Homo-oligomer: A and B are copies of this chain.
Amino acid sequence: MSTAPEADRLARIALNLMAEPGDPQVCALAQEWGAAELRRRLLEPGSEEPGALDVATRLAQADPARQLERAARHGIRFVMPGDAEWPSGLDALAHAGVLSDRGGVPLGLWVRGPIRLDELTSAVAVVGARSATGYGSTTAARIAADLGRAGVPVVSGAAFGIDEAAHRGALSVGGATVAVLACGVDRVYPAAHRDLLEHLAAHGAVISEAPPGWAPMRVRFLARNRIIAALARGTVVVEAASRSGALNTARWSSQLNRETMAVPGSVTSATSEGCHRLIRDGAATLVTTAAEVLELTEPMGRVHPVEEPNPSGPRDRLGTRQRQVLDAVPAVQPAGTESIARTAGIGVREVHDVLTQLLALGLVECADARWRLSHRARARH
């Protein structure tokens, strides 16, 4: 059943005002029937579902036009499927199933801030423990800053700890960053993050599936996590205790076939346990830098300033003959050229020439016509 766009918008908002974010039935039926038709059926008297009367009452009382107008006065817009700004990554939620009884494509998202959601196609989510360690916060901020420098938006949840560090890291280099909240985008949660949220609303975006005014509740965090994962091309868990909510975001990322990544840490740190388990179970790929994140999330060919992770040593630049001779040089007790030639299985004259080359390269030492590895070469056994 086709509906005029504005009627569809108002129907979606009416349903959004009535249903919990990520209610899998409401999301699925709105996809299947269209929001206007779902709204119409829910308003029909005589539905036999328990609680239907209550739903009908609430739906009848909702005033979506007024809500939309009031939101606009606070700089809040409603972005929904079909809008130019709609982030196409969220459509994958239609087929990603249900986790913790949450799932489906949201009816729409409430958004505050200048970043357009359709500009987040290369975004990476950086999430993790509220009770992060200094190590975790520093690492999250560094990865987010490097992503920001590479022009990749950072998605997170504005919570204490890793989320906060991720947003601040991106902001510190003028990078794009958006926060997805479990409460309305006009609410301040946690209260201590008033400035951060204001800054995000002014320079990035604050996003929620829950209508303005709604409070943060556990079930809404679970619904929120799927939006974070679906907005991003991949999710990095920086620190997570073994039962952290960030693991729910990681599960959504896997469920959506996005890159799921985790940062390792000390084996004695409880806040790294969840990360280690994800990696160990094959649910996440170990990453240590933004460059490694981008290797996994970026389509081939896009150029990024990727750090050189494994600089080649002097040994790699040697020829075969040089390596053969180097391999025959004793580490500690010096040996004569003849002895080295015998071990290497190469003629004495040639060995002498090669040893002289290795000496020039700083790989061997020579005293009293006897040779051994230099300290530098010794360190590479």
Contacts and interface: CB of A to CB of B under 8 A. Distances in A.
Contacts of A267: 139, 263-265, 288-289
Nearest to A327: B219
A332 to B, nearest CB: 6
Classify chain A's interface size: 35 or more
Counting every copy of the chain, the complex holds: 2
Nearest to A190: B332
A94 interface: no
A381 interface: yes
A245 B263 CA distance: 24
Interface stretch (A7-15, A30-38, A64-72, A278-286): A278-286
A343 B240 CA distance: 29
Interface string A266-307: 111000110011011000011111001000000000000000
B309 A286 contact: no
A114 to B, nearest CB: 28
Contacts of A135: 266
Nearest to A159: B381
A226 B109 CA distance: 58
A215 B371 CA distance: 13
A280 B259 CA distance: 13
A167 interface: no
Nearest to A287: B280
A370 B39 CA distance: 31
A326 to B, nearest CB: 7
Main secondary structure on A side of the interface with B? loop
Nearest to A139: B267
A328 B219 contact: yes
A329 B218 contact: yes
Name the residue among A280, A326, A377 with the largest chain B CB count within 10 angstroms: A280
Interface of A: 20, 51, 54, 101, 130-131, 135, 139, 182, 189, 215-219, 221-222, 242-243, 245, 263-268, 272-273, 276-277, 279-280, 285-289, 292, 309-311, 313, 326-333, 335, 342-343, 345, 373, 377, 379-381
25 contacts: A20-B343, A51-B345, A54-B342, A139-B267, A189-B332, A215-B332, A216-B330, A217-B330, A218-B326, A218-B329, A218-B331, A218-B377, A243-B310, A263-B267, A264-B272, A264-B286, A265-B266, A266-B266, A267-B288, A267-B289, A273-B288, A277-B309, A280-B286, A280-B287, A280-B288
